[in-house]
Amino acid sequence: MPERRPYVAANWKMHKTVEEAEAFLGEFLPRAPGPEGPEVVICPSFLALRAAVAHCAGTAVRVAAQNMHGEAEGAFTGEVSAPMLLEAGVEAVVLGHSERRQLFGESDEALAGKVPAALAAGLEPILCVGETEEARDTGQTDAVLERQLQADLAEVESGGLGRVVVAYEPIWAIGTGRTATPEQAQEAIGFIRDLLRARGGGDATRIVYGGSVKPGNAAELMAQADIDGALVGGASLDPEDFAAIVDAA
Ligand code: PGA
């Protein structure tokens, strides 16, 4: 089985101005691991991407966007494309976050175009999937994950699966302080890995957990066999907390 390098990403959502992003990186970067340690990715707002890239230059920390359009250019007011992100020095992109799916109507159909577009451009997609509380309570978790993954990765060939990072983020655990137990997270992520294996990939794919990850619960979650890291929202806004989570990976 290939060794999977741990992966920890900070999803800042709609937080941090350029000035605040720079202040964070000024504190965090001296504590960040080098190329031998866990892979660390910071996901600021579009406007703070260039400043973050400039600050992270010469370190092992990489920068990701939180969304992109599937087309390279066109009449899509308010959107940003893969070539624009690449030009800014961005190396990865979060796709299909549940807030985008729930609040902004992001569809599996759109994601089926975005994931291969990101790969083709040389951006690493961080594809988010996860069930609602209702789906979990009614035993639909696996069905939801399978539907999302089959749809969102439909146009990705098996050889490309190792270049995708999948974030399992149960919606009921995001920003709620209610973390999935390590067993629940492992079970869902093990299921995702089996799905990817059935598609001819999976062993090389980093699959991370997201949903109220904190310094106090990160180590136990990331110690699970199939959990390769974390996508961190709230706790990633504080350089001390995020550094502690990275140290646990
Ligand atoms: P949270 O967010 O850590 O604040 O729960 C995680 C996410 O939405 O990626």
Our answer on whether the CB atom of 232 is closer than 6 Å to any ligand 1 atom is: yes
Task: Kindly give the distance from the C-alpha atom of residue 166 to the centroid of ligand 1, in angstroms, as a whole number.
Answer: 14
Q: Token pair 């089985």 is at which residue?
A: 1
Å from CA of 221 to ligand 1 middle? 14
Q: For the segment 46-57, what is each residue's pLDDT rounded down to a tens digit?
A: 999 999 999 999
Give the residue extent of every domain in the chain.
7-11+32-224
Is the confidence at residue 1, as pLDDT, over 60? no
Residue 2 confidence (pLDDT) above 60: no
pLDDT value of position 58: 96
Percent above pLDDT 70 for the chain = 99
Mean pLDDT of 183-201: 96
> What are 143-174's pLDDT values in tens digits?
999 999 999 999 999 999 999 999 999 999 99
Model confidence at 3, pLDDT cuts 50, 70, 90, reads confident
- Specify whether 187 is catalytic: no
CATH 3.20.20.70 fits 7-11+32-224, yes or no: yes
The question of whether 15 is a catalytic residue gets the answer no
Q: 104-118 pLDDT, tens per residue?
A: 999 999 999 999 999
Mean pLDDT of the chain: 96
Q: What is the structure's pLDDT at 202?
A: 86
